[in-house]
Structure 1
Amino acid sequence: MPASAPASALTPPPAFAARIRTTAPSAVREILAVTARPGMISFAGGLPAPELFDTEGLRAAYDSAFARSARRALQYSTTEGSPELRAAVAARLDGQGLATTGDDLLITTGSQQGLGLITTALIEPGDTVLVENPTYLAALQGFELAGARVVPVPCDDRGILPDALAELVARERPKLLYTIPTFQNPTGRTLPAGRRAEIAAVAARLGLWLLEDDPYGELRYEGRALPRLASHPGAEDRTALLGSFSKVMAPGLRLGWLRAPAALLRGAVLAKQAADLHTSTVDQLAVAEYLRAVDLDAHVARVRDAYRIRRDALLAGLAGALPAGSTWNRPEGGMFVWARLPEGHDATALLRAAASRGVAFVPGAPFFAAAPDPRTLRLSFTTHTPEEIAEGLRRLAA
């Protein structure tokens, strides 16, 4: 048997792909590892409250899925998703004013996968993608992995400025606009109805795909629901809509859905076939059983009631917890409050001090595609009780 070659003679394997070498890790995921310490009160993660999960209803739904057909539940399935679940999602969307059939939908492994599938179907390296500034961190990460050129759209405290968008589209010729118009992550802001119609008109007039991410839309605590971008004239044939069961049912299910025009949906199906063949059959059938047997709207109403109280507890205590001169918004729903510290403060530096006192949040800078504001921070209010929120704010004040 030949002797092993000396280490100096070994040739290392080829390098990782440039997309992996140059893409930064998610700042939120890194912070969540720190906040897992016992006793930490975390305003960092956008996590649903686990005590509000309908564990009994979900357990019964899995039992029912197995009782109906264990063989089917444990077998491979179609890429598009189970007909029962697609029909149930379509019925919910239809009831919310967006005409939808099961054929318009693809079931995804969380809405995050839907974002990746649309990116794969549309974006070539070097293509321009427009985003809100700031925006969802994992979207920035996904577009970077795809080799896209990411350009921020001018926004104010209510979201995208349509005139600025039109000017940017005419100048940059982007392929896609990614937006979270309702209870945006990280800012919690909501795009007004008039601006939604204007954005749809810009997309139709200038030729632009729209990717509307809506994981938080059902978590509304006040005000009236607004039509989705996909329902506006001019946007019907160019809008992909992402939704998720993570925030209204349980994130561990890893179930979401994608609604898109037929041609784009076919592209997403091809991308999913290459990614994972299909989303978990048993989880799909269990959620379809849950939607058949349980009033999801009633469950969501209970969740909303709890989160409304928690939002108000956070808002009530911020004046005493943040430095004088800080500002913050009052979101009508969702999971996040967006704050800005006074001149001369740095939220990242503050996080290190806060974590040493047993409280955490997410600095806002990583959410910006350009010109990050180091004074900003995102605070999530859903995970803790009002009493825990009050204690967390006391720690933050210290």
Structure 2
Amino acid sequence: MSVEKNIVTDTISALYDTQNGGPKYRALAAALRQGIAEGVLSVGTRLPPVRDLAWRLGMTPGTVARAYTILTDEEVLIAEVGRGTFVGGTEEPRPPLYQSSPHGHAEDGGEMVNLFTARLPDLGQVAMIHEGLAQLAERPAGALLEYPSARAFAPARKAVVGWLGGVPLGALQHEDVVLSHGAQSAISLVMQAVLRGRRPVVLVEELAYPGFRRAAELMRAEIVSVPMDEYGIVPSALAEIARRHEAQLLCTSPELHNPTTLVTPPKRRREIADAARRGGFDILEDDCTFLGESRDATYRALLPEHGWFVSSISKTLTPALRIGFAIAPQSRRAELRRVAENGFFGLARPLADLTEYLLSRDETREIVRSVRRRNAVYVRATLNVLGGHDLSWHEHAPFVWLRLPPGWRAAAFCRAAEAQGVQVRPGEDFAPRNGFAPHAVRIGMNAQVALADFEAALARLRRLLDNPPEQILV
């Protein structure tokens, strides 16, 4: 162990010795908080590996991992795959994990190819956003001197209704729409409108978008996973789990499941809707990742009293503006609107006006079609390079799901890929904290990288897949 690591370990050990009993993991978490607050564990400090600190403190690695997880969830610490755990809050960034520059390998001092998440190409939307902002600057001064209001935002909400015209949402009026700061904000708004009681239960798929869990945790909800098969959520298991836990809300993405790209067929959706109707719980449908046009009925259409829908422009135009929308059942739109008004009054007026501008233009739809076509090119390139392995994909998905061959586990594969200059997302990010972590990774379509460089990054992944270690890495 290096001198620097010894100093950090000694510091943590001394802080731990001053704690006043209680469960060991809580005492360790308290010691770390104290050290950070007092500045003896400064911003950016790398904490000891779990096993090293566990040996020093005389506790199990699981106890240390639990303390680290608590503080990571609180964003006091930052955990980075393949690099370790750090004290958060630094304004001086460490060497970047997820840069989009395609050149060179990390082990050779080069930069990373970011396949951790999808990256949109600029196909005209940046110039259109600039033009929209310039036009907004010419609007009357009165629009910049008033609080947001439902009446002032009506044109933006109507633009959202028009934008979603091809989505089978059932009866839809602009009053059913609430604008949000991206889809994650929309998910939180729906949960605030739906959940009741001291410890409500939220159901998620056994592999699920992590944002569902984060939003539920903010609501102090209990999160319960529901089994899936090749068609999506298993209705019989859903009904039994919802009954046993008195669940209030199911979060799901039937049109394009994140991360597996699975699409739930119409018959299965009706069975899931029937289970919700009989069980008396609501369904929140997240539609952010699907890039296509053809669709089956949403849960809002299948469950007019209990179906909620959220989406955004992050995967089709830009994630930078944080424009999203939540859509309530018509009989419950006042609940959703009240949550937004009591929480943040509404979007900034210029952002609402920009939403109207962007979603009302024919050019925007053409840009989205171009994004869809470009994404399909990168999906096909991924199939050409990695198709010999266990790959799940969809032409209108901004990612693919890769199940790793024997000899690889997700964390070890991510570290090896990073050493080769490629960032991918481990399957454990989508699994329950105490559940089975699949030996799989999600690979994002980074269309900001030249196609040839994207294919070169995939080729480096292919070499790792074709040559797994002789022993399972942990």
**TM-score, length of structure 1 as denominator length:** 0.85
Find runs of 4+ consecutive structure 1 residues off by over 4 angstroms.
18-22, 24-33
1-structure distance, mates of 2:313, 2:152: 15
> Are 1:135 and 2:208 an aligned pair?
yes
Alignment of 1:313 onto 2:356: no
The whole-number CA distance in structure 2 between the counterparts of 1:319 and 1:82 is 47
Distance 1:24 1:376, change over 3 A: farther
- 1:181 deviation in Å? 1.1
Corresponding residue for residue 341 of structure 2: 273
Alignment match, 1:367 = 430
Change (3 A) 1:301 1:27: farther
Matched, 1:238 2:306: yes
Report SS of the residue matched to 2:179: strand
1:102 matches 2:174: yes
How many residues align structurally? 375
Query: Shift of the alpha carbon at 1:147?
Result: 1.8
Question: Which whole-Å deviations, capped at 9, do the CAs of 1:286-305 have from their partners, x for residues lacking one?
Answer: 22123334333222111111
Instruction: Please state if 1:111 is matched with 2:175.
Output: no
Structure 2 counterpart of 1:104, one-letter code: D
Contact 1:215 1:247 in 2 (8 A): yes
Could you list the runs of 5+ residues in structure 1 that have no partner in the other structure?
A: 1-7, 321-325
Alignment of 1:351-362 (within 5 A): 351-362=414-425
The equivalent of 1:5 in structure 2 is none
What is the one-letter code of the residue matched to 2:128? G
Partner in structure 1 of residue 140 of structure 2:
69
Cα deviation code 1:40-91 (max 9, x no counterpart): 1121013323x23512222222222233434415643126871111011112
457, 461, 465: which one pairs with 1:392? 457
* Equivalent residue, structure 1, for 2:85: none
| Amino acid across the alignment from 1:45 | T
Task: Give the corresponding residue for 1:228.
Answer: 298
- Aligned partner letter, 2:454: I
Supply the AA of the counterpart residue of 2:366. A
Cα pair 2:446 2:454 within 8 Å, conserved: no
2:117: which partner in 1? 45
Q: Note if 1:346 corresponds to 2:409.
A: yes
Q: How far apart, CA to CA, are the structure 2 residues paired with 1:156 and 1:100?
A: 32
Question: Which residue of structure 2 lines up, in the alignment, with residue 247 of structure 1?
Answer: 315
Partner of 1:323: none
Change over 3 Å in CA distance of 1:91–1:318 after alignment to 2: same
SS at match of 1:67: coil
Cα distance between partner residues in 2 of 1:28 and 1:236: 41
What root-mean-square deviation, in Å, do the aligned CA atoms of Structure 1 and Structure 2 show? 3.0
Task: Tell me, yes or no, if structure 1 residue 378 matches structure 2 residue 442.
Answer: yes
Q: Which amino acid aligns with 2:254?
A: P
How much has 1:101 moved relative to structure 2?
A: 1.0
Deviations 1:162-191 (A, max 9, x none): 222122223222110000112222122111
Structure 1 residues 312 and 256: alpha-carbon distance in aligned structure 2, compared to 1, 3 A threshold: same
TM-score by length of 2: 0.72
- Where does 1:288-327 land on structure 2 (aligned, <5 Å)? 288-319=356-387, 326-327=389-390
Task: Compute the displacement of 1:195 (Å).
Answer: 1.1
SS at match of 1:226: coil
How far apart are 1:207 and its partner, in Å?
Answer: 0.5
1:3 aligned partner: none
Amino acid at match of 2:430: F
Tell me: CA distance 1:45–1:109, structure 2 relative to 1, closer, same or farther (3 Å).
same
Q: Which residue of 1 aligns with 2:73?
A: 23
For 1:252 and 1:142, the matched residues in 2 are separated by 20
2:287 equivalent among 191, 208, 214: 214
